[in-house]
């Protein structure tokens, strides 16, 4: 099995997630797009580990993918809490409205 | 092209189309459900890459927990339905940036794989590490990042609770005021004299409650 397929699929997923981050307005949908990008990176890591370096003792690719999964779970928890706070304070979760720190 | 590759192409097509539907869907709940399909498809990709443990972790954490969390997030924040309300006016810019990045990266990847810069690229039999190897690596080489990750999860848990909780001062005060007003309501016909004949205190809710 060639690594070309997984790498192209990961690139496609990453670019779809990038499109979502730029084009979406709803903060929850932006978080969903960020999840897509993180999953694309996971596919890349697993493909490199299992197709190019299958005999490595410290399974670095799989461990990095596991750690990214854990960090993404933490990020989603804190991100949704921030979104709830934003919704409570201004009754809208459009990211275009949150420009308080823009100079 | 072996049967393995055919399965990978099918799962990859499912994943990619579900991902496109995730970012273009007009309905928020549909977007979250398409995200769940995409994450399950990524788990299928992990299975075809012989990473069984990671596929199960993906199903547990992402499809089981994160998708449900997103559904809760969409239900708790009232959001409008419709593409104009969900997307901003930069769709052309977004298509240009992401499409350009995709063309650039895929050109680089195809060039690198085709030129043999990655070494021995075509593997006949995909083989991943066994689960016991992953466990030994976790607690031998990666034990410090593992513990740091657990501390990060704990900090994120506490931070999410603190952030999402209603502000402590106001809600407590409001509940107290409501209770006193409800207690005051029956005595609206006028202040009753206390049993010892003295006039009751008008401002104190507790005095009125004690007299009735």
**Residue A98 lies inside a defined structural domain of this protein:** no
Number of neighbours of residue B66 by Cβ within 10 angstroms: 25
Is residue A72, in this structure, part of any structural domain at all? yes
User: Is A30 strand, coil or helix?
Assistant: helix
Q: What is the CATH number of the domain that holds A75?
A: 1.10.287.3510
What is the mean pLDDT of the segment spanning B171-181? 45
What is the per-residue pLDDT for B211?
Answer: 44
Residue of A31, A46, A67 with shortest CB distance to B145: A67
Q: How many domains does chain A have?
A: 1
Upper half-sphere CA count for residue A29 (Cβ side, 13 Å): 35
A52 is in which domain, residue-wise? 4-92
**Does the distance separating the beta carbons of B141 and A67 come in below 8 Å?**
no
Tell whether the model's pLDDT for residue B174 goes beyond 50: no
Confidence of residue B179 (pLDDT cuts 50, 70, 90): very low
**Domain assignment present for A77:** yes
Confidence class for position B190, pLDDT limits 50, 70, 90 = low
Has residue A103 been placed in a domain? Answer: no
CA distances from B132 to A20, A102, B129 (A): 38, 50, 8
* Averaged pLDDT, B54-80: 87
User: What local confidence, expressed as pLDDT, does residue B210 receive?
Assistant: 44
The answer as to whether A101 is a domain residue is no
Residue A81 included in any domain:
yes
ipTM of the complex: 0.91
**What residue in A sits closest to B100 (Cα-Cα)?**
A15
| Chain B nearest C-alpha distance from A15 (Å) | 5
Interface test with chain B among A45, A52, A77, by most B beta carbons within 10 Å: A77
Rounded to the nearest integer, the mean pLDDT of chain A is 89
| Domain presence at residue A102 | no
Q: Is the pLDDT of residue B133 over 60?
A: yes
Residue A99 covered by a domain: no
Is residue B53 within 8 Å of B131, Cβ to Cβ? yes
Where helices occur in chain B by DSSP H, the ranges are 3-24, 28-48, 52-58, 67-76, 83-86, 91-115, 131-140, 143-164, 168-184, 205-211
Using CB atoms, pick whichever of A12, A20, A32 lies closest to residue B16: A12
pLDDT at B113: 86
Averaged pLDDT for residues B89-100: 89
- Which pLDDT band, with edges at 50, 70 and 90, does A97 fall under? confident
CA distances from B7 to A16, B11, B12, B106, B122 (A): 22, 6, 8, 21, 17
Residue B113's closest chain A neighbor by CA?
Answer: A4
Tens of pLDDT, residue by residue over A16-62, are: 999 999 998 888 999 999 999 999 999 999 998 888 888 877 788 89
């Amino acid at each position: 099995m060639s690594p070309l397929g997984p790498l192209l699929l990961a690139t496609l997923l990453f670019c779809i997630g990038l499109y979502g981050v730029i084009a979406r307005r709803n903060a929850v949908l932006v978080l969903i797009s960020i999840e897509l990008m993180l999953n694309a990176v996971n596919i890349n890591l697993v493909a490199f580990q299992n197709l190019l370096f299958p005999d490595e003792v410290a399974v670095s690719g799989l461990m990095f993918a596991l750690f990214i999964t854990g960090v993404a779970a933490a990020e989603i928890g804190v991100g949704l809490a921030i979104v709830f706070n934003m919704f409570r304070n201004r009754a809208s979760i459009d990211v275009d409205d949150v420009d308080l720190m823009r100079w | 092209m072996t049967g393995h590759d055919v399965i990978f192409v099918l799962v990859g097509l499912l994943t990619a189309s579900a991902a496109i539907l995730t970012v273009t869907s007009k309905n928020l709940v549909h977007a979250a459900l398409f995200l769940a399909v995409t994450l399950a498809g990524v788990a299928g990709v992990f299975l075809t890459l012989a990473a069984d443990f990671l596929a199960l972790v993906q199903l547990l954490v992402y499809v089981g927990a994160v998708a449900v969390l997103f559904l809760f997030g969409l239900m708790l924040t009232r959001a409008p339905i419709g593409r104009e309300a969900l997307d901003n006016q930069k769709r052309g810019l977004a298509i240009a940036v992401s499409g350009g990045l995709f063309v650039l990266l895929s050109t680089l990847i195809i060039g690198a794989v085709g030129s043999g810069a990655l070494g021995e690229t075509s593997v006949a039999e995909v083989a991943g590490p066994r689960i016991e190897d992953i466990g030994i690596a976790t607690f031998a080489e990666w034990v410090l990042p593992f513990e740091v990750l657990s501390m990060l999860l704990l900090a994120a848990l506490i931070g999410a609770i603190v952030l999402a909780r209603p502000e402590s001062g106001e809600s407590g005060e409001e509940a107290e005021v409501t209770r006193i007003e409800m207690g005051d309501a029956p005595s609206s016909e006028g202040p009753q004299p206390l049993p010892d004949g003295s006039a009751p205190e008008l401002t104190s809710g507790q005095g009125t409650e004690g007299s009735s």
